[in-house]
Amino acid sequence: MEWCEYMECSRRLRYRPAAPIARFTLASVCARYKNEAMSEPDFDLIPLMTDLTSGRKFLKDVDAPIVDQITSRLKLRRDQFQALLDNNLERAKKAPAVGDAAPDFDLELVDGKGVRTGDTRQLSACLGKPIALIFGSYT
Amino acid sequence: MRLNQIYERYADKVAFFCIYIQEAHPDDGWQLPVNHDDSVLYDQPKTMDQRATVAQACVLHLGLAMPTLLDDMNNSTDVAYSALPERLYVIDSGGRIVYRSDPGPYGFDVSAWEQSIAVSVS
């Protein structure tokens, strides 16, 4: 999820920061993550990666040098990356769509210090007002 | 953190939950350099206690303010929502989905999510 925060920063900067203040912000973000894999040129790849992982574009239609750049950054072989995208798309097909009934859940709550409580929260019991969900993990 | 800002802005009108699901990049799976750099090194949990341990590290490190729920070890809710690695949803008061992000991290569009939240309370 930390990675997502970085993505959000990059998206808000519209991928190619032109203004000095935006470049400064971007540099801060990159420095925070201390990872050359997130250097500025890679920001150009974010729209493409968004399309690939959401199935709007396919790897076979991407120029080989670009694919090499992506797989190198991700530490994956091309076939591994293709398998990952295929798996993503299979999963995405099963995602409930806008207009569908939200699948119910009844899951254990952790407290503000991240400690298990034994209490649960059920989606269907919270209806009556909008519900906003974030799914993710630390890694 | 932007997620906390949105939570604090709408918490009186919207129920927020962070649902902690299986690890996207565990140390015994597809690990990424960024996790090595930040020492975020955890194997894929095999028990609820193990999942809770990583979730706790996440909650404390990121300072997540909203209620956090643990998905079960069958990954039932993750599967039901096709959530892995990350995804955002907004559900209306009647239980219908009104917003679904693309899969993360590239589709993790917090701005679009917030806009949907704003519409849902307007």
Domain boundaries, chain B: 2-120
CB of A133 within 8 Å of any CB in chain B? yes
Helices (H), chain B: 2-10, 33-37, 48-62, 76-81, 110-120
Domain boundaries, chain A: 2-93
A17-21, A102-106, A111-115, B56-60: the lowest-pLDDT one: A17-21
- The CB density around residue A79, as the number of other CB atoms within 10 Å, is 9
Confidence label for A10 from pLDDT (cuts 50, 70 and 90): low
Which of B1, B85, B99 is closest, CB to CB, to A98? Answer: B99
**Mean pLDDT over the full length of chain B:** 88
Q: What is the CATH number of domain B2-120?
A: 3.40.30.10
All residues of chain B having their beta carbon less than 8 Å from the beta carbon of residue A30 are none
Which of B20, B67, B92 is closest, CB to CB, to A130? Answer: B92
Q: What is the pLDDT of residues B66-83, one digit of tens each?
A: 999 999 999 999 999 998
Nearest by Cα to A136 from B39, B80, B22, B61:
B22
pTM: 0.80
Which of B81, B97, B105 is closest, CB to CB, to A99? Answer: B97
Q: What proportion of chain B, given as a percentage, has pLDDT over 90?
A: 52
Q: What is the pLDDT of residues B30-54, one digit of tens each?
A: 666 666 666 777 888 999 999 999 8
